[in-house]
Amino acid sequence: MYKIRIHGRGGQGAKKAAKIIGQAAFDMGKQVQDFALYGAERRGAPVMSFVRIDDNPILERGYIDDPDVVIVLDKALLEIVNVSAGLDENGLLIINSEQEPVLDTPAMVKHVDATTIALEIIGKPIFNTIMLGALAKFTNIISKDALDRAVEEELSKYPDKIIKANKDAVKKCYEVA
Amino acid sequence: MKHLLITGNEAAAWGARLIKPHFIPTFPITPQTECIETLARWKVEGDLPDTDFERMESEHSVMSAAIGAAAVGVRVFTATSSQGLMLMHEVLYIASGMRLPIVMVNISRGLSAPVTLWSDHNDFLDQRDSGWIMFHAENNQEVLDMVLQGYRIAEDPRVLLPVMVNMDGYVLSFTDEPVIIPSYEDVKQFLPAYDPQHTITSDRPVTVGPPVMDEYTDYKAQMHLASRNALTVLDEVQNDFEKIFGRRYHTVDEFMLDDAELVLITQGSMSTTAKAAILEMREEGIKVGLLRLRVIRPWPGEIICKALQNVKAIAVIDRNIAPGKGGIMLPEIVESLYHSINRPLVSGFIVGLGGKPQTEAKIKEITHKLANDLASGRPRIEWNDVEVS
C-alpha cells in the first residue's frame, strides 16, 4: 500500500490535492481512500490530508503516521510542523520551495518552486494541483495522464480557462521538477 | 451502474437521489452539511425533478415537516447529526408512533459540552428507544445500500416504522472511498413506486396521533411487534437485494468467528481497522474474530447469541459513554448472553470518544487484555486505558 500525507495550510487546497491524487489512482483501477484532517479549521492554520492507494481493498483507516510520500505545500510549515515524521530511508518528501530545504530526515527530499510556476501560469499563488506534477514525476503512484484527467474532473466546476491553466501548470511542474 | 470515488455524505445523497424522494426537509450541521449541499446542487441542476427540497429553520422543524409529508403519503428523506438529532428527539417518537416510513441518515458526532465535531455514537444511541429502526454502516457503500434497503423495510406493511441509517462522522462522512452506484432501473426493481396504505387525503380525513387512554399500551405493543417483524423483513430484503445488486449484508457482520476463542464486538467504521488488526493477529496464531453490530434496533439478540455460542471471551468495544453506568452496548450484549448455555467472559472497553483515533495498535492491545482477562477469569471495564468500576 502507498500512503501519502499532505501538509498545507487551511485554504491552500491540501484536501483538494488529496482528492485529485485519489481520483487519479482510482482512474488507474486502484483501491483508494482519501480524506482530510480538519475540524473548525480556519484559513492559514496547519492542516493535513491523506491518501491510501492499494491493489486490494483498504482496511486501514485514520491518520497516516508511516507515509511513503509526504507533500509539503508551504515551506514555512517546516518551522511549526514535523512534516517528515514517520518517513524512513525509502520515503520521499516533496516540498514547495525555491531552494533545497534543510531537513533532518533519512528520506529523499525533492523541492520544486510551485509558487513561481503558479504565479507565472495561473496568475495566483494556488499551487496544490501543481505539486502533483512533481508527485507524478518522482513516483509511479499516479501517471501523468491519470493526473491530467483527475485535475479536469476535480476542477470541473470551474471555467475552462482555469482548468487549462492548472493543467498547463502541472505540465510545467512535471517538466522542471 | 457506475463506480465513483465519493465520501460517506455523497454516498448518502446518492442513496436518496436513487430512490427519488418527494420531499427533503433539511437543516445543515457539521459533519452532515456536504450531504444536503450535494442534494441541493442536484436539485438546482435538475437531477431531482420530482423532489421538493426545503431548508427549514431547525431540526425540530425538519422532522415535523417530514412527519406531515409522510402522513399524506409521500417518500421523505433527510439527514442530520449530533445536536441536530438531539433537537429532533421528541419528534422522533411522533414519527415512529404514527408509523411513518421516513428514512433519515445520521452522521454521528459526539455531543456537547464540550463541543466536538468528531464522531462517537452517543447521538444516535440516545435515540435507541425511540422506536426507529437503526442501522450502523461500516463503509460508504453500506451507507448507500442501507438507504435503499431502509425504504423497503420502512414501507413494508409488517413494519411501517421510520429508519435511521448511521455512519461515523469524518471517518466516513468526509472520506472518499470507491462506491458502486446502482442504476435507476435496478433501484426501481428493488424498490417499486411508493403505494402508501394509510394516508390523510382530502376525501378521507382522519386524525392521526390523537390522545388515547386505554389504547396507548396497544399502540406501543404494535410498535414493538412491528420492530421485531423488521428482523424477518430484513432477511427477505437481503435476498432481493443480493439478486438485483449482487451484494449481501447479514443482520450481524461476522468476521473470522468460526474458530474464534476471543471476539471483539464493534460498531461502525472502527470495525474496518479492527479487521485489519485481526488479520495480523491471526498471522501470529491468535484465535480472534469480530462481530459487528449492524442492526441496533430491532435488537438481534438471538442471532448474536448464536454467533457467539462457541467463544470463550468477548470484548465489547463501546464508542459511547453512559456516565454513571459505562458503555451502552455492553449490558445489551451481556443480557443477550445471560440465557445462553455457554456464557463467555465479557469485558468492556470504552474508546474513541469525540473522534479519538482508533488504531490497529489499540485493537491489538484490547485483544491482549482480553486474553489476560480470560486467563485470570476476571472481566474488566476499561475507559481510556484507566480501569473503572
Cα of B297 vs its chain's centroid, Å: 8
The 10s digit of each residue's pLDDT in B182-232 is 999 999 999 999 999 888 988 888 888 899 989 999 999 999 999 999 999
Fold match flag (B2-245 vs B252-387): yes
Q: Which residues of B touch A63 (CB under 8 A)?
A: 357
Considering the domain delimited by B252-387, tell me its CATH architecture. Answer: 3-Layer(aba) Sandwich (3.40)
Q: Which residues of B touch A26 (CB under 8 A)?
A: 5, 178
pLDDT number for residue B40: 97
Q: Among A26, A59, A66, which would you mutate to test the B interface (most chain B Cβ atoms within 10 Å of its Cβ)?
A: A59
- How many structural domains does chain A have? 1
Q: Among A51, A61, A157, which would you mutate to test the B interface (most chain B Cβ atoms within 10 Å of its Cβ)?
A: A61
CB B314 within 8 Å of CB B331: no
pLDDT number for residue A42: 72
CA of A85 to nearest chain B CA: how many angstroms apart? 17
Q: Which residues of B touch A19 (CB under 8 A)?
A: 176
Rg (Cα) of chain A, in Å, rounded? 15
CB B305 within 8 Å of CB B337: yes
Mean pLDDT rounded to a whole number for chain A: 93
The cell for B54 is: 426545503
CB B148 within 8 Å of CB B105: no
Q: What is the CATH number of the domain that holds A161?
A: 3.40.920.10
- Phi/psi for A53 (5° steps) reads -135, 130
Residue B386 has pLDDT above 80, yes or no: no
pLDDT number for residue B385: 61
Ranges of each domain in chain B: 2-245, 252-387
Q: What H or E segment, with its residue span, contains residue B139?
A: none
DSSP A99-159: S------SSEEEEE-HHHHIIIIISSS--HHHHHHHHHHH-SSS-HHHHHHHHHHHTTTS-
3-state helix, strand, coil split of chain B in percent (to 5) is 40, 20, 40
How far is residue B120's CA from residue B2's CA, in Å, rounded to a whole number? Answer: 31
**What pTM, to 2 d.p., does this model score?**
0.95
The cell for A94 is: 516533496
User: Any CB–CB contact under 8 A between B23 and chain A?
Assistant: no
* For residues A17-35, average pLDDT: 97
Note the ipTM here: 0.92
Query: Yes or no: is domain B2-245 CATH 3.40.630.10?
Result: no
pLDDT number for residue A115: 94
Residue B389 has pLDDT above 70, yes or no: no
CB-CB under 8 Å, A60 with B177: no
Mean pLDDT rounded to a whole number for chain B: 96
CB-CB under 8 Å, A22 with B171: no
The 10s digit of each residue's pLDDT in B247-300 is 999 999 999 999 999 999 999 999 999 999 999 999 999 999 999 999 999 999
DSSP B81-123: -HHHHHHHHHHHHHHHHTT---EEEEEE-PPSSSP--S--SHH
Split at pLDDT 50, 70, 90, the class of B176 is very high
Residue B384 has pLDDT above 80, yes or no: no
Q: Which domain, by its residues, includes A130?
A: 2-176
* For residues A121-131, average pLDDT: 92
Q: Find the closest chain A residue to B109 by CA distance.
A: A39
Q: Which residues of A touch B269 (CB under 8 A)?
A: 61
Residue B360 has pLDDT above 70, yes or no: yes
CB-CB under 8 Å, A22 with B176: yes
CA of A57 to nearest chain B CA: how many angstroms apart? 9
Residue B57 has pLDDT above 60, yes or no: yes
The set of residues, in sequence order, having a beta carbon less than 8 Å from that of B195 and lying 6+ positions away, is none
* For residues B26-35, average pLDDT: 97
